Amino acid sequence: MSYRSSTASLAIAEMREFAGFTASERQFIERSLDIALGRGDAFKQWSPDGSEAVTIRKQYLAYRELRTLREAAPEPNAMDGLS
C-alpha cells in the first residue's frame, strides 16, 4: 500500500470514529482544535454569551504551556549515534 493510500485509509478511519462520538464530544473536540490551532476567536465562536469564557481561557493557558514545553524538549532523535 502506498503512503498516500495508507494516509487516506487512516483519515477515513478517523472520520468514522469521530462520527461515532456524541454531539457534545464532537463539539468539545472541535472547540479544542480551534483553541489549540488559533483558528478564529474561540470566545466569539464557542461562548457568545460568555458562559464558557472561563473554560476557554483555561484551555488557552494550558495550550500555551504545552507549546513552551515542546520548544524546551529535545528532538526525539537528538541523541542518536551517541555512545
Asked if residue 67 belongs to a domain, the reply is yes
Asked if residue 15 belongs to a domain, the reply is no
Per-residue confidence (pLDDT) for residue 69, from 0 to 100: 87
The predicted model gives 63-71 an average pLDDT of 88
Asked if residue 1 belongs to a domain, the reply is no
Asked if residue 59 belongs to a domain, the reply is yes
Per-residue confidence (pLDDT) for residue 1, from 0 to 100: 57
**Each residue's pLDDT tens digit, 12-64:** 999 999 999 999 999 999 999 999 998 999 999 999 999 999 999 999 999 99
Q: How confident is residue 81, by pLDDT bands cut at 50, 70 and 90?
A: low
Q: Is the pTM of this model over 0.85?
A: no
Nine cell digits for residue 61: 493557558
Q: Structural domain tally of the chain?
A: 1
**Secondary structure percentages of the chain, helix, strand, coil, to 5:** 70, 0, 30
Residues of the domain holding 28? 22-72
Per-residue confidence (pLDDT) for residue 7, from 0 to 100: 86
